[in-house]
Structure 1
């Protein structure tokens, strides 16, 4: 039994999926106009819709539109779609972006040359299929490196696309073109078109879910970190530090807690302005980050006051940490006004009920003792908690 799929059905199958995604992405884009990733994906869907629309009328319009322009638009749309996905995961570096632009331009030029010199359809199919496989490959690599389960699933979907493109490319030389082309009505056409429809919609849905996942991740960062310095905020620092205290109590293992602030910070603001004061806090935060080991924490309590929790570091090790930090600041930081800090330090073996606020309360007098002793240094808390 021969199954015939006319142009109306082809349009409905391929066009609706792209159009639905275009509407969803466009609606979202009204409130995210500066999102380059979203803009790339939106443009990709526009090009794919245009390509499908031109392909439907093959035979009724000039080949330069239904073959050349349609395939160029579909190829460019695929390139933009992949670039959007790679950028969404933070892997679209400037060098990679440049390489991708070159691959896209060279691919378009190559297909144009084939079309101009009136190459056979199997050659064009093979060329286009192999280029598409190359374009889709980065998504598979990014998905493999990503920590997101959703992105790994997306990479599998694109992996299916890579395999299909390679198989289609080789098959074009061995399977009669009348059976292989999607313009020949029949069972093969129906199966491929429906598969392409399902796969395309899954990819479109996956992109939207990845966008949501990315936004959720950013919201978590914003909820847990200080906007100015990137340090953990007080709530998040306290929660994570108390988890470390409980884990250290089970081992048992020592921890060292440092409470610090910037000496004469109000004077810095009054003398140099609040912009300079903000830069001091950012530079201090960056310097602290560079000294922390895996498992250490630091957070901003507010103003110029910070807390640091050094996991597994005893008195000597925490003293060396404090001395190194003071030394780096005393040598001056590029782009920042001169400043130094005072610190209170406490080293303890935590109990299962120990709270960070108890460490703070014990270190606060030590911090002020350091200021009394001339600032630009640290003092150890006395007694136990």
Structure 2
């Protein structure tokens, strides 16, 4: 059998070490609030185990009360970190009252002179419930789980089973105590050690994974409109073009420009201009299919690729987009402002470079502006451009 007191010291050092590791990571990265909460949770849990290790040498009731308080607060903080990480908005309404109730039950039982066996059963049940809640968050139905997330969740379920077994053993046999040796105690502390290692590194990797995804989004998304930026647009369009060539499927391209955008900026200011760009992007996204590719090339110029679309379908889509933008209005000083767009449409020929197709669409866009704006023009075919 393992030495429970020594194992408690190992858990204390491990949790405090993880708290220091996460605090260091938080200082060198744009850490989420969840990571900071998690670091505090590990620190509090480490202090709880350290106080538990000291209890035989400091047999004061205050040490036991502090150890139990820190252990429950640490478990609650860990649950709070998961709720924060996964974006739960109202977790405080549930977690705070439950934690207060758990503390009241634990300390009430102690000051009512409950037996050590009863106190162990009660604490085991409290920690088991917190662990079950965290596992439920990680493994909730309907959410896309990464392998890392599933591993952490299953590890939490294993610890929940160990704590439940500990509580059951105390109820069934009536001789459970904090430092009492036995197979159930050994299983519980080994499961706790595994939980500390897997969840400690796991949560750190989850935060790193989220940071990497955020960096990838920043590298590909226009921060103002939420559309893909110029570089990402060219990369995705080239992939779509190559796929269309292999499948011998049509692929259409639009160049889109907001009419009189400079006049809008000069009259109402750049903040209003930014609002107009955002309104256009939001309106356009409502008319797109999931696999369409729309990007902001710069300023008020946008491009849209429609895979699997012939010229006739592309013109209909362009007219639908033009009408939706015309119907959208935004508030400006003194009233409302209605935008219009001019659109040039072409079909990308097989093996045509994207720059060539963009040039043809841009010529069509210029023709739409020259013809009075707020209209759709079809670009010349590639053969006519080359022949000319």
- TM-score normalized by structure 2? 0.87
Query: What do the CA deviations read for 1:87-127 (whole angstroms, capped 9, x no partner)?
Result: 33xx3321345333343333333334433434443342453
Q: Does the alignment pair 1:295 with 2:291?
A: yes
Equivalences, count: 375
Q: Does the alignment pair 1:367 with 2:362?
A: no
Tell me if the contact between 1:126 and 1:170 (Cα under 8 Å) persists in the aligned partners.
no
Return the alpha-carbon distance in structure 1 between the equivalents of residues 359 and 352 of structure 2: 12
Deviation at 1:265, TM superposition (A): 1.6
List alignment gaps of at least 5 residues for structure 2. 384-388
Query: What do the CA deviations read for 1:322-375 (whole angstroms, capped 9, x no partner)?
Result: 223222322233456432211111135x52x33322221110100011101111
**Who is 2:72 aligned against?**
75
**Who is 1:38 aligned against?**
35
Deviation at 1:318, TM superposition (A): 2.5
Q: Does the alignment pair 1:106 with 2:101?
A: yes
Deviation at 1:235, TM superposition (A): 1.5
Deviation at 1:188, TM superposition (A): 5.4
Return the alpha-carbon distance in structure 1 between the equivalents of residues 70 and 156 of structure 2: 19
Q: Does the alignment pair 1:172 with 2:167?
A: no
List alignment gaps of at least 5 residues for structure 1. none
User: What are the within-5 Å matches in structure 2 for residues 50-129 of structure 1?
Assistant: 50-59=47-56, 60-66=58-64, 68-88=65-85, 91-120=86-115, 121-122=117-118, 123-125=121-123, 127-129=125-127
Deviation at 1:40, TM superposition (A): 0.9
Return the alpha-carbon distance in structure 1 between the equivalents of residues 60 and 326 of structure 2: 74
User: What are the within-5 Å matches in structure 2 for residues 1-385 of structure 1?
Assistant: 5=3, 7=5, 9-31=6-28, 35-59=32-56, 60-66=58-64, 68-88=65-85, 91-120=86-115, 121-122=117-118, 123-125=121-123, 127-142=125-140, 145-178=143-176, 181-185=177-181, 189-190=185-186, 192-335=188-331, 337-348=337-348, 350-351=349-350, 353-384=351-382
**Segment drifting more, 191-200 vs 300-309:** 191-200
Query: What do the CA deviations read for 1:255-307 (whole angstroms, capped 9, x no partner)?
Result: 22111111122222211111111121122112222222121111111111111
Evaluate the alpha carbon distance shift between residue 357 and residue 149 of structure 1 in structure 2; reply closer, same or farther with a 3 A threshold: farther
Evaluate the alpha carbon distance shift between residue 358 and residue 164 of structure 1 in structure 2; reply closer, same or farther with a 3 A threshold: farther
Query: What do the CA deviations read for 1:39-92 (whole angstroms, capped 9, x no partner)?
Result: 2112211211221122223352433541x432332222222223323433xx33
Evaluate the alpha carbon distance shift between residue 253 and residue 101 of structure 1 in structure 2; reply closer, same or farther with a 3 A threshold: farther
**Who is 2:386 aligned against?**
none
Deviation at 1:26, TM superposition (A): 1.3
Deviation at 1:33, TM superposition (A): 7.7
Evaluate the alpha carbon distance shift between residue 81 and residue 117 of structure 1 in structure 2; reply closer, same or farther with a 3 A threshold: same
Spell out structure 1 runs of 4+ moving beyond 6 A: none
Evaluate the alpha carbon distance shift between residue 151 and residue 143 of structure 1 in structure 2; reply closer, same or farther with a 3 A threshold: farther
**Segment drifting more, 291-300 vs 57-66:** 57-66
Q: Over aligned residues, Cα RMSD in angstroms?
A: 2.6
Evaluate the alpha carbon distance shift between residue 367 and residue 201 of structure 1 in structure 2; reply closer, same or farther with a 3 A threshold: same
Evaluate the alpha carbon distance shift between residue 344 and residue 315 of structure 1 in structure 2; reply closer, same or farther with a 3 A threshold: same
